[in-house]
Structure 1
């Protein structure tokens, strides 16, 4: 089946394909420009671990890819594109394992100098790992001897998603055309991504008010029935 017009795989696994009638335009750009051609660099940044291909007997077979970037990774350099077209072009010209591509609105992040790292210096080892995953919540543990930029293999969507470091909300930006990125402080810390629908507090307020009205209505109905039954028994 076409991976981008069928949702079967996505029902069972996290998938770079799937189907929705209202795809994000940037992700559709990525499909048209890179994913249809199985571009290794873009598949790696999306942490694609397997491809389903025809096997020797013609039946579908899952083949392990050797080079996915992982759920998150640190980069040593940032490059910026002045336009969305330049951003998407840079994906095919950049080593996305070591460099993050950002757009013009995030140029401020691009202009900050990343700390120089001594090659082969064991004290400069950085690690970051996904430790908890739910559709509306992701948790990462990381360690870095210096301030660093991390890219997360999750689609950037700022309407509801917020980033937190050790329980305090922190700024995030879009990188690699469709992914999330953050500048993280040195040391050992916890990063969380939380999703809460916009205006959720208002929805909760309306729901609470409606629930209270229903309960009050039910209580009033019970009181009315009790009084009516009591009056009937007195008349008898």
Structure 2
């Protein structure tokens, strides 16, 4: 297992590039598009064997069952999903297409095994100045069309209210915290804008901007976006499931009940032992004489 799971030169190259702290995704076409080996090293994948079971994500990448992610061939889809690297299996599919090569692995006989390319993925959290509303049936075809530029426009599932000037915001987005169920970012923008985050949307996501609650919008069919004001702001986002919260409370309650029942049982057991004359022998003074 150690030999099979050990990081090769391509994976080591990716891990070495993680020092800047900027998230990214890898699209691996190895093993007939089912490769997930990079995930063992903490690398996020855009596809692979069951990459994500949310139906909208599968619709975005064009994946049915365990098939290939057909839509990842579209540059707009890769851009919004933060795909910054592509792993091409030369031995399986033949010579790699032209592109900016980052790293390669070779067999003992010198043949190229796999080639790692850099790609055009946008930052995982970025500012966008304009939005368009599309239905679920319209969103993916529009995203893949030449009409859409994901660098300046976000596709929303519903009208968020309010008007933006549509200009391209200038500013910065810095990660302070990034975990599966919570994140924090420091944002600076020269105008009101949308902060687009290339992670899956779900109704249980909550967010604040400078401690004021804001709506988490469904963006780009399956991802997230919130509105941020002009100037500097702190964005916090966390997953707060009502059902999960109640499950935790019920679990804690059940544990307390079990502990309580155990304590009562132990008290009764000790009480029975105390009344049996075994644990506390009685000392009688009758018949005893003083010396």
**TM-score range, shorter-chain basis?**
0.7 to 0.9
Aligned position for 1:78 = 131
Aligned position for 1:141 = 186
Alpha-carbon distance, 1:195 to partner: 1.1
Q: 8 Å contact 2:130–2:193 — kept in the other structure?
A: no
Asked if 1:63 corresponds to 2:108, the answer is: no
Aligned position for 2:85 = 50
TM-score normalised per structure 1: 0.82
Give distance in 1, aligned partners of 2:51 and 2:61. 15
Alpha-carbon distance, 1:134 to partner: 0.9
1:94-132 deviation per Cα after TM superposition (whole angstroms, max 9, x unaligned): 0100011123xx1244xx431354x8xxxx632112222
Aligned position for 1:114 = 164
Q: Which has the higher contact order (CA 8 A, sep 6+)?
A: 1
* Equivalent residue for 1:87, pick from 125, 139, 155: 139
* Paired positions, count: 224
* Equivalent residue for 2:173, pick from 128, 132, 136: 128
What RMSD, in angstroms, separates the aligned Cα atoms of the two structures? 2.6
1:14-71 deviation per Cα after TM superposition (whole angstroms, max 9, x unaligned): 1111433972222222222895252222111111111111357332232222x32102
Change (3 A) 1:189 1:176: same
Structure showing greater Rg = 2
Aligned position for 1:30 = 60
Alpha-carbon distance, 1:209 to partner: 2.0
* Equivalent residue for 2:234, pick from 169, 178, 190: 190
Asked if 1:8 corresponds to 2:37, the answer is: yes
Q: 8 Å contact 1:156–1:178 — kept in the other structure?
A: yes
Q: 4+ runs of 1 displaced by more than 4 Å?
A: none
Q: 8 Å contact 2:33–2:69 — kept in the other structure?
A: no
Which ranges in structure 1 are unaligned for 5 or more consecutive residues?
Answer: none
* Equivalent residue for 1:101, pick from 155, 159, 178: 155
TM-score normalised per structure 2: 0.68
Q: 8 Å contact 2:196–2:219 — kept in the other structure?
A: yes
